[in-house]
Amino acid sequence: MSVRKNIKKTTLNQYTKDYVFDEKSHIRKTADGRMYLPAVYCHNGHKLMTDDARFDGLRGVKLLVKADKSREIIVVSPFLDDQRKEGANFPEGTHLQICCPTCQEELEKLIPCTCGYGAYRRALYLTPNPKDMGAIGVCDTYGCPQSFINEDGELLFMVETEE
């Protein structure tokens, strides 16, 4: 019996073959070929990376989450299609307000998520300037692994739950 019962089966779709992974790209690859985000930012330019939790040596993404009256910190993995996270736990399906730990503002809505009514993908920007048009959209429902990455207005990656 697996104790990680909340881990869902997902597919990582890649929509471009010519993305250049290098030491300046916003999406990078480890030596063993796994993709990760070296840095992400809120809409006010605050860097969300933290040393509080590392995932295979890489810094995690620190988020302030609010649900009902609770305010908690969770740190999520910087790897694409990786559901590991540390910190607070919520019941599966809890609708969260995902906020920047620095300015405490809720992350911006990008598009609705297909996992449930009222669920939205929230923006973690790839640069400090939202106008640069690079973002990862993460769902604001706890336990939903669906996300995507846009850069220069182009869809690069999408993680979808398998039915």
Q: Which residues bind Zn ion (CB under 5 A)?
A: 42, 44, 46, 100, 102-103, 113, 115, 119, 139, 141, 144, 146
Nearest in space to 61 (alpha carbons), one of 109, 107, 120? 107
Select 29 or 67, whichever has its Cβ closest to Zn ion.
Answer: 67
Q: Where are the beta strands (DSSP E) in the chain?
A: 10-14, 28-29, 35-36, 49-55, 58-67, 70-76, 85-87, 97-99, 109-112, 120-125, 134-139, 147-151, 154-161
**Least spacing, CB of residue 114 vs Zn ion, in Å:** 7
**Least spacing, CB of residue 95 vs Zn ion, in Å:** 10
Select 57 or 91, whichever has its Cβ closest to Zn ion.
Answer: 91
Structure tokens at 27: 């999406």
**Least spacing, CB of residue 133 vs Zn ion, in Å:** 19
Select 146 or 150, whichever has its Cβ closest to Zn ion.
Answer: 146
